[in-house]
Structure 1
Amino acid sequence: MKDPVIVATGITYDRESIQRWQSHGKNKSCPVTNQLLPIASEFTPNHNLRRLIEAWCASDRVVPAPSKQSSLQLKLIAINLIKNLKLQELQLESLKTFESLASESENNRICFKDVGVVRAMVTIVVSCYQNGTTVGLKEALNVLYLVGFTEDETRSVLEEYDRILNSLTWVLGFDASYNDTTMKLHALVLLKDLLNYGNSHVIERLKLDFFKTIVVILRQRETKNLEERIKEGLHVLLSTCTWPRNCSMMIQAGAVFELVELELGSPNKETTELIMAVLFHLCSSADGRAQLLGHAAGLAMITKRMGKMGCFKRWSGLEQLRNYVWCYK
């Protein structure tokens, strides 16, 4: 514990630890008491405990952690860095500074949200897409990945930067010679978050090329970040396949065939459930069932999974999917 603070329930936590707890997974409760704890809770510094920690460090000759900027100082630094992004000669250096600070602590990432860093990074990504350049793109994507979108930010970003989806899809379409799967993983995570929070107007505007790109991502087998990229790609398909129009484009892009191929590769349980959930939607149409039956191992794979229903107690669509295919056959 470096910076002890008291939360609304009277429990003391390390500031960075409780901020991380609140920021990830939408945790709204106090970890100890399980009482509701506002996400934007004001923390009260526990000065007595801090003095005890400092005294213990001094008595045991423990080297204390280096002091970090206060939230106000960090926000001022971020505001100046955002201004520097507009200067071509300072842009890359400023992006690297943002990247370094964002990877340092949860407190830094929260401060960045407050001063508009998300919008600034989105502007950089869209600008790279429009100008066909990759200078600063990797850094901007990494900052967005680390800081993340809130639900309100997502709606605002989609309203004001309608090209962000095209920009992220453009990143996913980089050929193998570019050789940076981390950028593709970050783009997939950001796409998933945008689509999860996006309204129906956004989801129903997706184009065939978008789904072709996602299917290509599922087909790629570069070992670095492979499992994460596949899982995020499946989440993107699952968040959009509830629309019949999107299902039709996924089928046209060859998604059913690739999903069967993925399942034949014996993925982990979570990935298998995602595959089956997407197949359930795609095989609700005649074209999807035809494509599944067109794969030499499609029906056998479904039958095999039916034999392992114990692994799928949380998802009852597998049997219905099997019935869809058998009735079609």
Structure 2
Amino acid sequence: MDHEIDVPPFFICPVSLEIMKDPVTVSTGITYDRESIEKWLFSGKNMTCPVTKQPLSDDTGLTPNHTLRRLIQAWCTMNASHGIERIPTPKPPVTKTQISKLIRDASRSPHSLTRCLRELKSIASDSETNRRCMEASGAVEFLASIISTTSPQAEPNQDEALGILHNLHVSEASLKSLITFRNGGLIDSLTTVMQKGVYESRAYAVLLLNSMFQVADSSRLFNIRYELFVELVQILKDQISQQATYATLQTLIQLCPWGRNRHRAVKAGCVWELIELLLDCEERKMCEMTLVVLDMLCSCAEGRAELLRHGAGLAVVSKKILRVSTTANERAVRILLSVSKSSGTASVVQEMIQVGAMGKLCSVMQMESGSKTKEKAREILKLHALACKNSACMPGSLGSYLA
């Protein structure tokens, strides 16, 4: 906006401080731009008026302020010579009746279904109000039923439905209903999409699974099928996108507290791919999440064996100590402690010395007193004190660290 043009203050949204394009009034009488107030109400899950701080009812009742919108449009027209473009008249929000009719008509023919999905995609892209209306009108269950269809001819519609469902950003209640949809059949369908779908659909599938598992009861998570872990590992390997990688790591963090899931993740090759990911990882959050999963998997014998089987396993874990964050330090030292206590053969201890793990642990000992990570480092050094003292690679002050 040209700063020399005097914009009437009541044209400005009090939340975004930008000129309104679609002014709407909430129940407290304050007018906002629709996009800004929707972001405040739905994305931030705030249920108060930003200006008055008064609570708003569950039905937010965003009433279009047609008078103000016409004034803004007239002002834009009057200032067209200054390069101001006229704000177009916004589309009215969709109604439950319209959505319900679209869903009913979709069953008439394959062409009707394709047209329905195309219209739902367009409706969802217009506003957050439309997306919440779709959710309230049964669109979530409708889209889930399409994704769960097993016919090969349905795959194009499955991809479209999955994209729409992902972009709806549905509520926690809807996510919980998806977990139990057709007795858990949607999870199996999403696993199939991750196996056979295009890259974009595979990413949408793991993102949706991550959201579902975040709100799931633990009883739904402790015995996940092996096939899902195979596909999660494949997504880590393919590096579809950073967002998909984060979602995959978060999903593994949610699933791997349970022993059965850990064994299946290890069997699927998860430890190997986590090490490969760490080798090239410089981003703090991703390093932390990768080490969290690796720590979980190294709590079982199979996980430790896979870590030691990888030529760079001990080296990359040791390398991350004191180079990423406190969280990474804690997890990396925990991994080394698991290996030392349960798999600390003479050859493993020598490898730990050679790759610098023991030297890193000595550096950890110089950290603040009382640190749990420091105590774990001391425990490792005490376990293998003799081998460390006989190594030329260790500092001469090693004894002081063990006092």
Given the two structures, how large is their TM-score scaled by the length of structure 2? 0.71
Match of 2:313 among 290, 298, 315: 298
Work out which of the residue numbers 117, 124, 132 in structure 1 matches 2:152: 132
2:174 alignment partner, one of 153, 158, 163: 153
The residue identity in structure 1 corresponding to 2:208 is L
Q: Larger deviation: 253-262 or 263-272?
A: 263-272
Task: Verify the 8 A CA contact 1:273 1:312 in the aligned structure 2.
Answer: no
- Aligned in 2, Cα 1:305/1:57: closer, same or farther, shift over 3 Å? same
CA contact (8 A) 1:22 1:39 kept: no
Q: Matches of 2:275 and 2:57 in 1, distance apart?
A: 44
Q: Which has the higher contact order (CA 8 A, sep 6+)?
A: 1
- Secondary structure of 1:13's counterpart equals strand
Alpha carbons of 1:241 and 1:80: their partners in 2 closer, same or farther (altered >3 Å)?
A: same
For the structure 1 residues 102 and 298, does the alpha-carbon distance in structure 2 shift closer, same or farther, using more than 3 Å as the test?
same
Q: Structure 1 residues 39, 284: closer, same or farther in 2, change over 3 A?
A: farther
Q: Which amino acid aligns with 2:36?
A: S
Q: In the alignment, which residue of structure 2 is the partner of 1:67? A: 90
* C-alpha spacing 1:80/1:44, structure 2 compared with 1 (3 Å): closer
CA–CA distance in structure 1, aligned partners of residues 147 and 195 of structure 2: 14
Residue of structure 2 in register with 1:201 after alignment: 219
1:30 to partner: Cα distance: 5.7
Partner of 2:145: 123
**Which amino acid letter does the alignment assign opposite residue 218 of structure 1?**
L
Structure 2 counterparts to residues 34-53 of structure 1, below 5 A? 40-43=59-62, 49-53=68-72
**Structure 1's 257 and 25: CA in aligned 2 closer, same or farther, altered over 3 A?**
farther
- Residue 236 of structure 1 pairs with residue 243 of structure 2: no
Q: Which stretches in structure 1 are left out of the alignment for 5+ residues?
A: none
Q: Distance in 2 between matches of 1:159 and 1:95?
A: 23
Sequence identity of aligned pairs in percent? 33
Task: Give the AA of the match of 1:308.
Answer: R
1:325 aligned onto 2:344:
no
Offset at 1:28? 5.5
1:184 maps to 2:207: no
Alignment RMSD (CA, Å): 2.6
* Aligned-partner residue type, residue 332 of structure 2: L
Q: What per-residue deviation string (whole Å, max 9, x for no partner) do you get for residues 219-249 of structure 1?
A: 124xxx4222222211211121121221111
- The alignment status of 1:22 with 2:36, answered yes or no, reads no
Could you give the per-residue CA deviations for residues 135-181 of structure 1, whole angstroms, max 9, x where no partner exists?
A: 3112101110111331111222332322100000000001xxx6x21
The residue that corresponds to 2:194 in the other structure is: 172
Larger Rg: 2
1:285 aligns with 2:300: yes
| CA drift at 1:293 | 1.6
State which of 17, 22, 32 in structure 2 corresponds to 1:13: 32
Q: Distance in 2 between matches of 1:271 and 1:67?
A: 41
Give the conservation status (yes or no) of the 8 Å contact 1:212–1:250.
Answer: yes
In structure 2, stretches of 5+ residues that fail to align are: 1-19, 345-403
Contact 1:148 1:190 in 2 (8 A): no
How many residue pairs align between the two structures? 317
